[in-house]
Structure 1
Amino acid sequence: MDLFIGGLAISAVLLIITGVTLLVGKFRKNKLNIKQKNWLLIIHMFFVMMYIGGVFGMLLLAVLTKFTIDNNLVYASHVFIKRFDHFLVIPGAFGSLITGIWLAIRTHWGGLTKHYWVLAKWIGNIVAIIFGSTYVRIWISDSLSTSQITNGIYPLQNPAYFENRQLLFVGLEICIAILFFLIVISYLKPWGKRDERHLNDI
């Protein structure tokens, strides 16, 4: 139940962010000039690098725990996984979402729904954020709590720790797959434009 409520809460936040960004964009009818667009694109790429770098760093730290027998190092790895999530992944995800929406509505792309690839990027980013904010967040916390020495039980002797770590691996791999998909469609820009005779643009 808590997971469902958390998912609804983050979905509401994402919809509010999207709505406010779109609303502000509608009041600014003029498109960005080349210089403004390039600077915004640089900022967008900075947030994307934070996002992807954070997720890859988390996965690397999680993999490290499979190749050590030092319980303190295992615990430290999970502490840093949580820090990567707080200081790289979360700001990177929200920053790339906001700057991506702004690029879509203030440039020649014409909004979030005129081109299929832009729509797919927006939806994909929202799915990644919701998945990361619900399931992956829980697996990070559970892995961290079970990686501590409790009641004389070391993490590498604790079946709960191995289960939580495996779930964390799966979650991070799903996140990386989604982000890789978003990078590919950003480069290829597939599927063309939607039919404007039947569908109104946001």
Structure 2
Amino acid sequence: MQNLIILLSTLAVILVLIALLAIIGKYLPKRLSLIQKNCWLIAHIMFVIVYFSGLFGTLLLANIATTTITDRELIYAAHIFSKYCDWFLIIPGAFGSLITGTWLSIRTQWGLTKYYWTIVKVLGNIGAILFGSTLMRIWFDQTVAFSSIGQMNPLQNPAYLHNRQMLIIGTMISLSILFFLVVVSCFKPWGKRLRS
């Protein structure tokens, strides 16, 4: 039940952000100039880099660090730092890329729903954020809890090993989604949406 509430509240925040950007963009008199567009595009790319960095950091800490070391305190520290990657890199990167990408779409010739590739990018980013705020959050919390000091050795705990494996798989899924969105952004496939 708690996960459903988190999922719905995250979705509500995302939809409110997109709606606010659309309303603000509608009432501004003209589109972005070339310099403004390039500045927003640089900001968008920087947020995507931060997003990628957080996911790579999580993957390195959850996969390499916790599978090669046996010291319980170091395993716990790796999961704490992995969670910090989520808080300070993945979440700001995801929301920053959503906001800057939405603003670029609304304030340029692309539009938010004129092209299939912009629709795919927005929906893909929303899906990645929802995946991260529900399932990934559970795996982050569980790996930290099961590796905490005072518990049994995490490498002998099947629940810890399962959650660590799911965190690694979830991080690779998130990286795949983000890589796909970057490819869509570069090649802009599928063309313009047909209006009826």
CA contact (8 A) 1:148 1:154 kept: no
Structure 1 residue runs without a partner (length 5+): none
* Aligned partner of residue 148 in structure 2, secondary structure: coil
User: How many residues align structurally?
Assistant: 195
Deviations 1:67-117 (A, max 9, x none): 1112221111000011111111111111100000010011121x1110000
Q: Which moved more, 1:2-11 or 1:142-151?
A: 142-151
* C-alpha distance in 1 between matches for 2:72 and 2:134: 27
* Aligned partner of residue 26 in structure 2, secondary structure: helix
* C-alpha distance in 2 between matches for 1:107 and 1:146: 48
TM-score norm. by structure 2 comes to 0.97
What corresponds to 1:58 in structure 2? 58
Structure 2 residue runs without a partner (length 5+): none
Q: How does 1:41-190 map to 2 (within 5 A)?
A: 41-63=41-63, 64-109=65-110, 111-151=111-151, 153-190=152-189
User: How far 1:181 moved relative to its partner?
Assistant: 0.6
Find runs of 4+ consecutive structure 1 residues off by over 2 angstroms. Answer: none
What corresponds to 2:2 in structure 1? 2
Q: Which moved more, 1:153-162 or 1:77-86?
A: 153-162
Does residue 1:29 correspond to 2:17, yes or no?
no
TM-score norm. by structure 1 comes to 0.94
Deviations 1:111-158 (A, max 9, x none): 11100001100000000000000110111000001011335x111222
* C-alpha distance in 1 between matches for 2:81 and 2:166: 17
